[in-house]
Homo-oligomer: A and B are copies of this chain.
């Protein structure tokens, strides 16, 4: 492909409205163009990367017998009402009236009524397709003999994000692979879950990026049956902890924290009320330092202090209750663990004013002792510890001598804290956690009976008995993954594409395109490489300095650059440069295919060793 004919306009300046690296670089490289907030056109170079990734996804899913289909983007309200999501899905679901519903609204308006169009919305743009696929399967599958079945599509989805941002990372319209599986029982659904888990590992390995499958929080459903797949990148929104000795890797929201016994495990003395006074001191460390008495001239060790959080939780049936969480002073609370431990659907930290009224103390001096109608949870690092300090529910004061078992009737010890880098692994007991940041690009999820029960998706078993199918769902953000690959692979000069999804693999930069001899060699090398199966972009643009061309090539970031210029050709050589290592090899033009093949093999080898596990 001749670059002079390619739809591409590179930019020297970073666009003002681009707020992450992938968006900045892809806009500067002329790969994507904003059409509206969170809505982009994928220009030819980006389209090539996207398609390549799609084909990797298709090939790997085909190995597991998944069948591809395509469902519509515009979906009728009826199906969503059946599953119940029409009501519960928030404003991200773009609802609207079709022509018929609009006519009905207009007619009422003409009759002098004041109709509210919202009440007539009868379609939406599908953000996911559980309802449609469940409808398809319930109409087409009757017998256990047809199961299991795994169906997927690759489609542009729309989610009306409140704050679309980060380019392709959190757009409103985006390309997604969504797959759904149907099974006769849990055991079969679990097998498929792990088959998809492995397929996703193959997919992201082939992509050539560093990634981790991460145990994730599955909310109130419980169990370990959801994994997120994260591309590792410093800019990632998610924190991940991964054991350095075993496979355990999880989203920090979910990572099990080891109990860290510390402080006083001796004999409990009585609770000394309002023992310490630290007026105006905020911050756990500062307060501990200020808790001075005869026995503690230097203040209290922080491991003997406690902190307290007061939550209001709501259950699926609408019931609410108050939960108080007690943790060691130097530990961070993990609200997701609190929520899951009590089995709540939602959890909210009690608003400050309300908490002050409830406890009678300002922030920093609230504590569990004496509070009524509160369920107390104590982090397991405090199990057996006594003689702790705690907020006195009196501003400026702390009690001393808290014994949770004695002072917090009915309290339960549980894993409540946020695990941290350096904690020992709770799975293998040998390694310690390392911290990463990740971009979530895929998820496998065991859905269970949620949709098959509400929508009546059943099959006849061997005994002719009707049962609901057990379902799983499996998503990959296609465009998000391509952007995440850029977030992980760039330097100050531009993108460094992983070979498998590079828009082109080789960038021939012809420095003297007006010189027929140089142009001839460049064209011949292009032809040779293309005939050998390589994908080549040939920068044949006239009237540009070598510096400007090299800058563009670095920005576009194809794995290999092959420079053809009059100067080098005097000595009969062209130069092959590795975008990542910047290493340069000089070679004869006739050797291009051989040298590029060697370089390709080396790069693929490096990707393999650098990839996920």
Contact = CB atoms under 8 A, between A and B. Distances in A.
Interface of A: 4-9, 30, 33, 35-36, 39-44, 46-47, 50, 65, 67-76, 79, 91-92, 94, 96-99, 102, 105, 109, 114, 116-118, 123, 125, 132, 135-137, 139-142, 145-146, 149, 151, 155-156, 158, 160, 162, 172-173, 175, 541-542
Given A96-B96, A116-B109, A72 B7 contact: no
B117 A117 contact: yes
17 contacts: A5-B146, A7-B69, A9-B139, A33-B139, A35-B71, A35-B76, A39-B72, A39-B76, A50-B70, A70-B175, A73-B158, A74-B173, A91-B99, A94-B96, A96-B97, A145-B541, A156-B156
Nearest to A93: B99
Contacts of A79: 35
B36 A123 contact: yes
A123 B36 CA distance: 10
A178 B223 CA distance: 47
B41 A70 contact: yes
Given A94-B98, A162-B99, A41 B132 contact: yes
Given A69-B47, A140-B8, A99 B160 contact: yes
A117 to B, nearest CB: 4
A117 B121 CA distance: 12
A612 to B, nearest CB: 28
A213 B179 CA distance: 40
Nearest to A43: B69
Q: Which 7 A-B pairs have the closest CB atoms?
A: A96-B96, A117-B117, A9-B140, A36-B76, A99-B160, A44-B67, A42-B70
Interface of A is mostly: mixed
A5 B36 contact: no
Contact of A44 (B69, B72, B542): B69
A114 to B, nearest CB: 5
Contacts of A68: 44, 47
B70 A141 contact: no
Contacts of A91: 99, 102
Contacts of A139: 9, 33
Nearest to A125: B74
Contacts of A40: 72
Nearest to A479: B70
A14 to B, nearest CB: 16
Contact of A132 (B35, B50, B175): B35
A99 B46 CA distance: 28
A237 to B, nearest CB: 21
A67 B47 CA distance: 10
Contacts of A8: 140
Contacts of A67: 6-7, 44
Interface centre among A30, A42, A98 (most CB of B within 10 A): A98
Contacts of A94: 96, 98-99
Given A41-B72, A73-B173, 13 more contacts: A5-B65, A7-B151, A35-B132, A42-B70, A47-B70, A70-B156, A73-B158, A91-B102, A94-B96, A94-B98, A94-B99, A96-B97, A98-B160
Nearest to A46: B69
Nearest to A145: B4
A292 to B, nearest CB: 54
A41 B151 CA distance: 12
A234 B173 CA distance: 40
A35 B68 CA distance: 17
Contacts of A99: 91-92, 94, 160, 162
A140 B99 CA distance: 36
Contact of A74 (B4, B5, B76, B172): B172
A11 to B, nearest CB: 10
Contacts of A92: 99
Contacts of A6: 67
A464 to B, nearest CB: 13
A132 B8 CA distance: 16
A609 to B, nearest CB: 33
Contacts of A135: 35
Contacts of A7: 67, 69, 136-137, 140-141, 149, 151
Nearest to A114: B114
A39 B158 CA distance: 17
Q: Residue among A6, A9, A68, A117 with the most chain B CB within 10 A?
A: A117
B35 A156 contact: no
A212 B503 CA distance: 37
Contacts of A149: 5, 7
Nearest to A79: B35
A117 B96 CA distance: 11
Could you say which of A6, A40, A41 has the most chain B C-beta atoms within 10 Å of its C-beta?
A: A41
A7 B306 CA distance: 58
A410 B41 CA distance: 55
Contacts of A141: 7, 9
A542 B145 CA distance: 9
A41 B73 CA distance: 10
Contacts of A71: 35, 41-42
Nearest to A40: B72
A35 B140 contact: no
